[in-house]
């Protein structure tokens, strides 16, 4: 593994955990807002028990499908074949790093979707328990679904070198 690959993998890992740690910060902020700020529910979108059940069910489903989804979306062939908008002039390992970064952000967006929707639901209901639970879930999901970014970059580099 080259220095560029190691640096890119460290950066992607940092971004991965930072993005999936944000729901915990939002949950703690909601806890403080409700406890000390008198924050009231914005709207009751569904009965509180139903909202919690739907959110927890979606979280459980995402935990179950996270790894298979990662294997599909971040397969080296898929990542190498993905077009880049600003990849002009990049070749070899640099192109592989750019494609791996784009694939990682796409996967992060898919994985983070349930957390974002749960944040919206917990804010609308001022549901502290759901907000904090969502933060803990997001950290567990970050560990469960984390790709090996260095191996991904190396595999994409090998895939790009393979003759078409």
The stretches of 37-148 forming alpha helices (DSSP H) are 48-73, 76-81, 92-125, 128-145
Determine the structural domain holding residue 19 and report its residue range. Answer: 3-161
**In terms of C-beta distances under 8 Å and separation of at least 24 residues, what long-range contacts does 151-155 make, across chains too?**
152/74, 152/76, 152/79, 152/100, 152/103, 152/104, 153/5, 153/8, 153/9, 153/93, 153/96, 153/97, 153/100, 154/1, 154/5, 154/96, 155/76
Distance of alpha carbon 133 from alpha carbon 26, whole angstroms: 11
CA distance 45 to 42: 9
Which residues lie closer than 8 Å to 159 by C-beta, 6 or more apart?
Answer: 76, 77, 79, 80, 96
The stretch 88-115 carries a mean pLDDT of 88
pLDDT category at 164 given cuts 50, 70, 90 is low
- Whether the predicted pLDDT of 87 surpasses 70: no
DSSP conformation class of 88: T
**CA 7, CA 4: separation in Å to the nearest integer?**
5
Number of domains in the chain: 1
Q: Tell me: the pLDDT tens digits for 108-148? A: 999 999 999 999 999 999 999 999 999 999 999 999 999 99
Percent of the chain exceeding pLDDT 90 equals: 77
């Amino acid at each position: 593994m080259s220095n560029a690959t190691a640096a890119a993998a460290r950066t992607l890992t940092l971004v991965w955990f930072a993005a999936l740690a944000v729901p915990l910060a939002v949950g703690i902020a909601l806890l403080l807002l409700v406890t000390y700020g008198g924050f009231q529910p914005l709207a009751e979108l569904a009965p509180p028990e139903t909202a919690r059940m739907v959110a927890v069910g979606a979280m459980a489903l995402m935990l179950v499908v996270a790894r298979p989804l990662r294997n599909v979306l971040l397969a080296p062939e898929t990542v190498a074949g993905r077009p880049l908008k600003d990849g002009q002039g990049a070749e070899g390992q640099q192109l592989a790093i750019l494609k791996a970064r784009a694939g990682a952000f796409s996967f992060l967006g898919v994985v983070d979707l349930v957390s974002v929707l749960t944040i919206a639901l917990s804010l609308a209901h001022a549901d502290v328990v759901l907000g904090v639970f969502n933060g803990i879930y997001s950290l567990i999901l970050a560990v469960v679904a984390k790709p090996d970014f260095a191996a991904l970059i190396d595999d994409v580099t090998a895939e790009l070198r393979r003759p078409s």
